Structures are given as C-alpha cells and as structure tokens.
Amino acid sequence: MMSAAVRGASDDDIQNLAAYYSGRKCESTLTAERQATLSGQAAASRCVACHGANGVSSNRAWPNLVGFSKTHLVDALKAYQGGARKNAMMAGIAKDLSDADSESVAAYYANASCK
C-alpha cells in the first residue's frame, strides 16, 4: 500500500513527508490508570521492552503501537508467526502467542491513541 502511495512522488514530496512525520510526537492516551482497567495487559507485557508500556517506543527504529487498529495489529502478529513478515525478534515474541493472546494485546493497544 505504501509503495502505491508514493509512486510518482517527487524527491521534494518525499523529503517533505519525511520532515512532517519525523517532527510528529505521540503522547499516548494509555496512562497507567487506564492500563490497569484494560484486559490484555499481561499479553502486552511482551511488547513493553521495545514498544513502551504505553505503546510509545523510546527508539525511533521501533514503531509506536498506539494508533494502529486492532485488525492491523492482529494481522501483523500473524504475519510474524507465519513468516510473511521478517524480523527475528518479533517472530520469537509472536510465535508463542495464542490467537486469544494476539486479539487481547491488539485490543489493548488499539484502545489508545496519540494525542
């Protein structure tokens, strides 16, 4: 999908998009109080080291999880499990997730957004 979105874009367009998105900040609505009320926190604990307790990564190389839909997150986890998406760390984490765990962790992060 992304390649279709940038096909035909000029170098200036790509630079402008990169500048815009690199300047965006995300403050998660997944506060500690809210985390305590959501199911899925146990399954989400596998994600915290890289993607942050509130779904906002401390490393720009790793994506934030807040802001993604539940469907996207479940599909990504299944793709890592099945080998369609290649990342050794994610494959190792996703391989032991049951379908219920994948649904739970996806719902946990999908219930938050950036503000």
> In which band, very low, low, confident or very high, does the pLDDT at 39 lie, cut at 50, 70 and 90?
low
Q: For residue 21, is it within any domain?
A: no
Residue 104 makes CB contacts below 8 A (sequence gap 6+) with: 39, 40, 43, 44
In this structure, is residue 42 part of a structural domain? yes
Structure confidence at residue 28 (pLDDT): 75
What does the pLDDT look like over 41-97, one tens digit per residue?
A: 778 888 989 998 788 888 888 988 988 899 999 999 999 999 999 999 999 999 989
Average pLDDT, the chain: 83
18 lies in some domain: no
Give the range of the structural domain holding residue 99, as residue numbers without chain letter: 27-110
pTM: 0.72
* CATH number (domain holding residue 46): 1.10.760.10
Is 2 within the bounds of a domain?
no
Q: Is 115 within the bounds of a domain?
A: no
Please check whether residue 4 lies inside any domain of the structure.
no
Sole residue written with tokens 């990169």: 18
Give the chain's domain count. 1
